[in-house]
Amino acid sequence: MKQKKRFVAGNWKMNGSLAQNRDLLNALIETVKNAESDVVVFPPAIYIQQVATMVEGTNVKVGVQNISPEAKGAFTGEISLSMVNDFGCDYVLIGHSERRTLYGETNEDVAKKMQAVVDAKLTPVICVGETLEERESGRTEAVIKEQLTSVIDAIGIDAFNNAVIAYEPVWAIGTGKTATPEEADQVHDFIHCTLKVYDDNISDLVRVVYGGSVNASNVDSLFAKQNIDGALVGGASLEAEGFTKIALA
């Protein structure tokens, strides 16, 4: 498999303020300006305009943490892709485990959102991952397979041509516990094998990144693995120095 450009993204979740975002970005824009990876931040939607304005003309790109698959109308509290497109977002996070567990997002919802993102010509970053209970009962691969194939069967493998897949074991998110590089690499390999059943060449196009307590200290061992094409970073992306180390690793 050919070496791919790394993808390193910060998922800010529900954190930040105008002042904090400004300080973080001012530092980040400068320190990552020669990064060889794609560097992306996912701020809360209300700050997209601020962030998009600040990063314009730099190599930092912006994404949105969640969208509605609907085009417009009576969907209180939701935002559409055309709204996101107004502000120069390039990426959309889909199916993050917090959306799945806290807000009841199903694989069917994930498929609809993915289709809408592809139609809007933005890049989907689709998250998959097992819970601790699923891992301990030996169901990791079955869960990941179901999360992926339910989307592929609904909207087709071509939707993945330009996608990033984030493998985020739920038990590793925000817990300080990371999958070992070997564990992550094994699941990433399984993800590629699952996609290949549908399209032999798709693995060359899709980047599979790891998420779950990635930080400046563990990033090198994760990135040393052949199947790990980058990272989706939560907590450690809120602080410029640590996130920069990950982006430059």
Which residues make up the interface to ligand PGA (CB under 6 A)? 11, 168, 173-174, 211-214, 232-236
Any catalytic annotation for residue 78?
Answer: no
Q: Which of 70, 96, 134, 136 is catalytic?
A: 96
Q: Which is nearer to ligand PGA, 95 or 234 (CB)?
A: 234
When the beta carbons of 110 and 202 are compared against ligand PGA, the nearer one is: 110
188 counts as catalytic: no
Q: Are strands 60-64 and 7-11 parallel, antiparallel or unpaired?
A: unpaired
Q: Which residue has the closest beta carbon to ligand PGA?
A: 234
Nearer to ligand PGA, 155 or 184 (CB): 184
Helices (H), the chain: 18-31, 48-55, 81-85, 97-103, 107-119, 132-136, 140-155, 181-196, 219-223, 240-248
Asked if residues 125 and 162 have their Cβ atoms less than 8 Å apart, the reply is no
The CB-of-58 to ligand PGA minimum distance in angstroms stands at 22
User: What minimum distance in Å lies between the beta carbon of 192 and ligand PGA?
Assistant: 21
What is the smallest separation between the CB atom of 2 and ligand PGA, expressed in angstroms? 26
CA distance 184 to 179: 6
SS3 10: strand
Measured between alpha carbons, how far is 201 from 189 in angstroms, rounded to an integer? 14
Q: Are 243 and 28 in contact (CB under 8 A)?
A: yes
Measured distance between the N- and C-terminal CA atoms of the chain, rounded to whole angstroms: 21
Q: How many CB atoms lie within 10 A of CB 5?
A: 10
Q: Cα 168–181–125 angle (5° rounding)?
A: 30
Nearer to ligand PGA, 69 or 211 (CB): 211
Active-site pick, 98, 105, 168, 188: 168
Nearest distance in Å: CB 230, ligand PGA: 12
Nearer to ligand PGA, 85 or 221 (CB): 221
Closest CB 37 distance from ligand PGA, rounded Å: 16
Catalytic residues: 96, 168
